[in-house]
Amino acid sequence: MEFTEPGTIDDLVEDATAAGYRATHRLVHDWVSKGLLGKPQRRRTGPNGSEKALQSANQRFLFIAMLRERASNPRLSVLAEVPLSLWLYGGDEWVSTDQALRALRTYVGDDPRGTKAWGRRIAASIMSDVDDPRLGTRSSRRELLDALTEALYTGCFDRDLIVAKARPLFEPADVLLSLANSDGPDQPPRTPAALATHLQMVIAAGQAITAGELEPWELEAIRELEYDSEGAPPTAEQLASAAARLFRGIGAWVVMRRFKQPPNRPDGP
């Protein structure tokens, strides 16, 4: 569906019906509060009372895209990836920074530690580069997975422990080198310290987002660092990984500012 004009909440509900989805006014309000939709633009009160606020044409498109995504996966954290990818690659014309901040909190959830199952899933993705039967032993791989899961679930980061648990999985060196270079000859092999830093960034990003510590100007600065399309339309792979990419960038930003003063605001300190 294509939209060229802004619309009221009534229009959004009708758009959903026309596209074959069921939506209510309550759903629209709920999605605005969670950053899945932007805040509508209020209109002046006319002679017949106040007129309903308007969502932009782009937000009407986003609403349909969200409904389409919800049909296959209704989890809010997954739905939040849609506006975040549009914000990263489409800019404020599609999604405002204020909306992106709310969507990030939805992406993380009320508790950045999630559940044990969530922690195990993220831990598996962190160690995916070295989760190979030729590296370490079955016992050492399980111990690292357990240590990563526990750190993510509790929010407690022990670098020395993670590095120690990871070290056996980075041997033998010739196997590790072939795995690390499988995607390109210039890709250097990862190290136990790099894996520990990745975990640290994931934990730091979740904590900062949930605590509301990120300011709009910081998120926009992170977008400038993470945006890499060079003017070309983003690929399907880039859109699919946009939220994870942004999350990783936030983690790096938060970790770095703990050690040195971050850049000043664009309008001064």
Domain boundary at 157, 180, 204, which? 204
Are 104 and 176 in the same domain? no
Are 124 and 199 in the same domain? yes
Q: Considering the domain boundaries, does residue 135 fall inside one?
A: yes
Convert the pLDDT of each residue in 241-268 to its tens digit: 888 889 889 999 998 887 765 555 555 4
Are 102 and 178 in the same domain? no
Backbone dihedral angles phi then psi of residue 253, each to the nearest 5 degrees: -65, -45
- Whether 189 shows a pLDDT value over 60: the answer reads no
Q: Considering the domain boundaries, does residue 193 fall inside one?
A: yes
How large is the angle between the packed helices 192-210 and 116-126, nearest 10 degrees? 140
Strand partners for 8: none
Distance of alpha carbon 119 from alpha carbon 192, whole angstroms = 19
- pLDDT at residue 45 in the model: 67
Given a contact cutoff of 8 angstroms between Cβ atoms, the answer to whether 15 and 64 are in contact is yes
Given a contact cutoff of 8 angstroms between Cβ atoms, the answer to whether 102 and 93 are in contact is no
Tokens of 60: 């009407």
Overall domain count for the chain: 2
Domain boundary at 169, 184, 204, which? 204
- pLDDT at residue 258 in the model: 74
Of residues 2 and 82, the one with the higher pLDDT is 82
Are 101 and 130 in the same domain? no
Q: Per-residue confidence at 169, pLDDT binned at 50, 70, 90?
A: confident
Residue found under tokens 């070309």: 232
Q: Per-residue confidence at 176, pLDDT binned at 50, 70, 90?
A: low
Distance of alpha carbon 86 from alpha carbon 92, whole angstroms = 9
Are 129 and 185 in the same domain? yes
Are 67 and 134 in the same domain? no
Are 172 and 95 in the same domain? no
Distance of alpha carbon 258 from alpha carbon 33, whole angstroms = 30
Tell me what the pLDDT averaged over the chain comes to: 85
Are 81 and 134 in the same domain? no
- Whether 3 shows a pLDDT value over 60: the answer reads yes
Backbone dihedral angles phi then psi of residue 41, each to the nearest 5 degrees: -85, 120
Q: Would you call 140 helix, strand, or coil by DSSP?
A: helix
Are 102 and 127 in the same domain? no
Q: Considering the domain boundaries, does residue 215 fall inside one?
A: no
Backbone dihedral angles phi then psi of residue 23, each to the nearest 5 degrees: -145, 150
Torsion of the alpha carbons at 221, 227, 228 and 233, rounded to the nearest 10: -150
Whether the link from the prior residue into 40 is cis, omega within 30° of 0, is no
Q: Considering the domain boundaries, does residue 153 fall inside one?
A: yes
Are 139 and 183 in the same domain? yes
Domain boundary at 204, 239, 264, which? 204
Nearest to 101 by CA among 214, 238, 248, 250: 214
Residue found under tokens 């790096």: 252
Given a contact cutoff of 8 angstroms between Cβ atoms, the answer to whether 178 and 225 are in contact is no
Q: Considering the domain boundaries, does residue 214 fall inside one?
A: no
Are 128 and 102 in the same domain? no
Q: Considering the domain boundaries, does residue 161 fall inside one?
A: yes
Are 97 and 146 in the same domain? no
Q: Considering the domain boundaries, does residue 225 fall inside one?
A: no
Residue found under tokens 């990871």: 166
Convert the pLDDT of each residue in 198-237 to its tens digit: 899 989 998 899 899 999 999 999 999 887 655 678 888 8
150, containing H or E segment: helix 138-154
- Whether 79 shows a pLDDT value over 90: the answer reads yes
Given a contact cutoff of 8 angstroms between Cβ atoms, the answer to whether 66 and 40 are in contact is no
Given a contact cutoff of 8 angstroms between Cβ atoms, the answer to whether 163 and 193 are in contact is yes
Q: Considering the domain boundaries, does residue 137 fall inside one?
A: yes
Host domain of residue 137: 116-204
Q: Per-residue confidence at 186, pLDDT binned at 50, 70, 90?
A: very low
